[in-house]
């Protein structure tokens, strides 16, 4: 457990997402090698990037680098920003039908003229390694086999690494997006937590948060969550990624939590950057191996099963 907990010099220990991601990446590498003979090739992830959004370019570059470092095949499709709906849907259909592709990821956000929900829905649910199709969202609700959304899975896994069994913990998730908040709430529920899902219309948010054993802000508002909102001894999993002005005209990333103050109140907290962020790609790679194993009718390799991912 303690291998991902680091001393912060204050009350709270840091939950080191980079260390967690390195553990998952290493297990994925072993799993990918184990699956290769049965597949007759290495597990393969296809990434589709439409347009030239700078943040998306960075994410996609990291995904490709980590996929290859894990001994898997990375297939890259970069399309111009004015790509039509039909062209993109045709590419997804082609990837759906390609037996040598195990996972398909369409990098979001898409340019405004494309309907992200429609495009994501076109992905074969058995290759939907982002876990965002209705099929996989429904499987999560039902507790059925499926591919789970990456960032929320990373949050739950980090909480389990920090705390062990989560049964009976009271969890407050702030944010109800399809990408993060809703699946995070359902994944904590699946761990037998008692979950409150808060959002912009929630009343008395500070008081509700102050009752949480595990607080999971996923809003996108820098330093919104104050130390006074955190129960002493709580675990804070900060999903927010916000770019703010820093000294010398530069900018830096920060989370949704007033981190420096929260360090004095919480028992464990994820930093931003270096917390939930690195876990997202790690789970994506794990999902690609899981998809490859299921599609080939193979058992999940032991290295991956032992991680006990959500």
SS3 labels along 217-242? ECCCCCCCECHHHCCCCCEECCCCCE
Token reading at 49: 């990037």
Residue 53 known to be catalytic: no
By the rule CB under 6 A, 180 interacts with ligand NDP: yes
Integer CA distances (angstroms), 64 to 22, 284, 295, in order = 16, 11, 22
| Closest to 176 measured CA to CA, from 202, 150, 143, 154 | 202
Chain positions 204 to 223 lying near ligand NDP, rule: CB under 6 A, are 205, 218-221
Among 11, 78, 199, 226, binds ligand NDP (CB under 6 A): 199
* Beta carbon of residue 201, minimum distance to ligand NDP (angstroms, whole number): 5
By the rule CB under 6 A, 282 interacts with ligand NDP: no
Token reading at 285: 């790679």
By the rule CB under 6 A, 77 interacts with ligand NDP: no
Total residues contacting ligand NDP (rule CB under 6 A)?
A: 25
Chain positions 125 to 154 lying near ligand NDP, rule: CB under 6 A, are 151
* Beta carbon of residue 306, minimum distance to ligand NDP (angstroms, whole number): 24
By the rule CB under 6 A, 270 interacts with ligand NDP: no
Which region among 1-9, 26-34, 178-186, 227-235 touches ligand NDP (by CB under 6 A)? Answer: 178-186
Angle between helices 17-39 and 54-69 (to 10 degrees): 60
By the rule CB under 6 A, 254 interacts with ligand NDP: no
Per the CB < 8 A criterion, the answer to whether 108 and 116 are in contact is yes
Catalytic residue among 130, 213, 256, 258: 130
Residue 226 known to be catalytic: no
Catalytic residue among 63, 127, 182, 231: 63
By the rule CB under 6 A, 201 interacts with ligand NDP: yes
CA separation for the pair 103, 158 (Å, rounded) = 23
| Closest to 268 measured CA to CA, from 13, 1, 7 | 13
Which region among 7-15, 110-118, 183-191, 274-282 touches ligand NDP (by CB under 6 A)? Answer: 274-282
Kindly compute the dihedral angle of the four CA atoms of residues 75, 127, 86, 177, in this order, to the nearest 10 degrees: -110
Which region among 61-69, 93-101, 131-139, 195-203 touches ligand NDP (by CB under 6 A)? Answer: 195-203
By the rule CB under 6 A, 174 interacts with ligand NDP: yes
Token reading at 127: 């290759």
Which region among 29-37, 92-100, 139-147, 239-247 touches ligand NDP (by CB under 6 A)? Answer: 239-247
By the rule CB under 6 A, 251 interacts with ligand NDP: no
Per the CB < 8 A criterion, the answer to whether 104 and 123 are in contact is yes
Q: Which residues make Cβ contacts (< 8 Å) with residue 241, sequence separation at least 6?
A: 220, 253, 255, 272, 273, 277
Residue 63 known to be catalytic: yes
Angle between helices 17-39 and 150-163 (to 10 degrees): 120
Among 50, 186, 241, 257, binds ligand NDP (CB under 6 A): 241
Q: Give the footprint of ligand NDP on this chain (CB under 6 A).
A: 151, 174-177, 179-181, 198-202, 205, 218-221, 239-242, 276-277, 280
**Catalytic sites, residue numbers:** 63, 107, 130
């Amino acid at each position: 457990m303690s291998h991902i907990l680091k001393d912060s010099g204050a009350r709270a220990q840091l939950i080191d997402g980079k260390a967690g991601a390195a553990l998952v990446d290493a297990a994925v590498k072993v799993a990918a090698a184990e699956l290769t003979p049965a597949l007759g090739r290495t597990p393969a992830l296809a990434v589709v990037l439409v347009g030239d959004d700078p943040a998306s370019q960075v994410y996609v570059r990291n995904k490709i680098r980590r996929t290859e470092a894990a001994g898997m095949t990375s297939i890259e499709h970069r399309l111009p920003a004015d790509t039509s709906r039909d062209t993109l849907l045709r590419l997804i259909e082609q990837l759906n039908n390609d037996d040598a592709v195990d996972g398909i990821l369409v990098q979001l956000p898409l340019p405004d003229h494309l309907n992200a929900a429609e495009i994501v829905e076109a992905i074969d649910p058995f290759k939907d390694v982002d876990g965002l199709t209705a099929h996989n969202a429904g499987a999560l609700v039902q507790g059925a086999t499926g591919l789970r959304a990456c960032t929320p899975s990373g949050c739950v896994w980090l909480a389990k690494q920090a705390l062990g069994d989560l049964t009976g913990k009271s969890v407050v998730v702030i944010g109800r997006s399809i990408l993060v908040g809703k699946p995070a709430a359902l994944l904590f529920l699946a761990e037998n937590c008692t979950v409150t899902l808060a959002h912009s219309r929630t009343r008395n948010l500070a008081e509700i948060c102050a009752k949480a054993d595990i607080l999971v802000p996923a809003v996108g508002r820098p330093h919104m969550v104050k130390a006074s909102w955190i129960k002493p001894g709580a675990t804070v999993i900060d999903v927010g990624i916000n770019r703010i002005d820093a000294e010398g005209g530069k900018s830096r990333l920060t989370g949704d939590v007033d981190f420096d103050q929260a360090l004095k109140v919480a028992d464990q907290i994820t930093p931003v950057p270096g917390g939930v962020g690195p876990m997202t790609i790690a789970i994506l790679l794990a999902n690609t191996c899981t998809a490859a194993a299921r599609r080939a009718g193979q058992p999940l390799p032991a290295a991956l099963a032992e991680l006990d991912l959500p």
